[in-house]
Amino acid sequence: MKVSLIQMNSVSDKAANISVARKLVEQAIAEERPDWICLPECFDFMGGNREAKLAAAEPFPGGPAYAAMQELARTHAVYIHAGSVLEKVDSEDRMHNTTVVFDRSGTEIARYRKIHMFDITAPDGTQYRESAAFAPGDAVVTYACEDMIVGCSICYDIRFPNLYQALVEKGAEMIALPAAFTMQTGKDHWEVLCRARAIETQAYLCAPAQTGFHVVGGETRQTYGHSLVADPWGHVTAKASDGVGIVSTRIDKDRVRKVRTQIPVAQHKVRLDRA
C-alpha cells in the first residue's frame, strides 16, 4: 500500500487552507498515485484567538473542510485520513479536534476526537492551553484500509504510550499521527517519540505535520514540520524536507508480521497490578 503525507503551513484563513490542502492532495494523487493520504493536525485552521477558532469550527458532516476531503476521496477513489478539523460542538462553548476518514467511495469510515489536551509551558515560557478551547474525546478508534488496520491519534497523544498499546490491542498495524509540534519540542522530541511509538507497537507510524509560522493572538509561533514515516523496526523510511510539500512511501503488511514474529512482545506482556 502506498501512502502520502501532506505537510502544510496552515494559518487563520480557513478558505485558503482548504484550497492549499486540495491542491496538495491533487498533486500527491497525480505524482504519487497513493492508496492513502493523510493531512496534518488542524489543516483547516491554525492560529487566531479562541473566538476565531470557535467561529472556524464546522459541523460534521456538511462543513467546508469535511466536504472538500470527502469529495476528493470520492472523485479520485483514494482513502483520505483528513488530519484533524475543528469540529463544532453544539452542546458547549468548546470544540473538538477531530480526525475524519473517508474511503475510496467518499464514505466516512472513522471519526476520532483528540484525547490528550496540550496544556504545557514550553522551555521559552510560552503557555499552551488547548483545553480552554477544545473538549477531549474518549474513544480509541481504528478502521480498515484495504488489508491494513489503521489506528488514530493526534499530536500530543504521542506522549501517552497506553493509547498506542490500546490501538494495537484493537488490531492496529499502522498508526496515523497528524501533528503540529512546536519548534521547541519538535527539534528535541519529534523523531524520538515517533520512532519509539513505532518500535513499541511494532507498527508503521505515519506522521504528517504542520510546518512554518502562524499567529496566535498577536504572537508568532512556529511549528516543526519534518513529516515522517517510521516502520515497525523504528527505521525512518520517509521524511519531508522543510516547507510545504508531500512525502510518500510504501507500507508492507508482511514487515509488520515479520517484526512481531521476531520479537513477540504481545506474547510477553505481563500484567503489573499495584497493591
- Using alpha carbons, select from 101, 99, 93, 127 the residue that is nearest to residue 113: 99
What DSSP state is assigned to residue 263? S
Maximum distance among all alpha carbons in the chain? 58
The active-site residue out of 114, 152, 194, 206 is 114
Residue with cell 517510521: 230
The active-site residue out of 14, 38, 41, 206 is 41
The active-site residue out of 38, 42, 145, 155 is 155
> What are the C-alpha distances in Å from 257 to residues 42, 138, 222, 254, 264?
33, 29, 38, 5, 10
- Using alpha carbons, select from 58, 64, 102 the residue that is nearest to residue 83: 102
Query: Quick check: is 155 catalytic?
Result: yes
Query: Quick check: is 191 catalytic?
Result: no
Residue with cell 479520485: 76
What count of other Cβ atoms lies within 10 Å of the Cβ of residue 123? 9
Asked whether the beta carbons of 232 and 204 are under 8 A apart, the reply is: yes
Query: Quick check: is 41 catalytic?
Result: yes
What count of other Cβ atoms lies within 10 Å of the Cβ of residue 19? 12
Residues with catalytic annotation?
A: 41, 114, 155
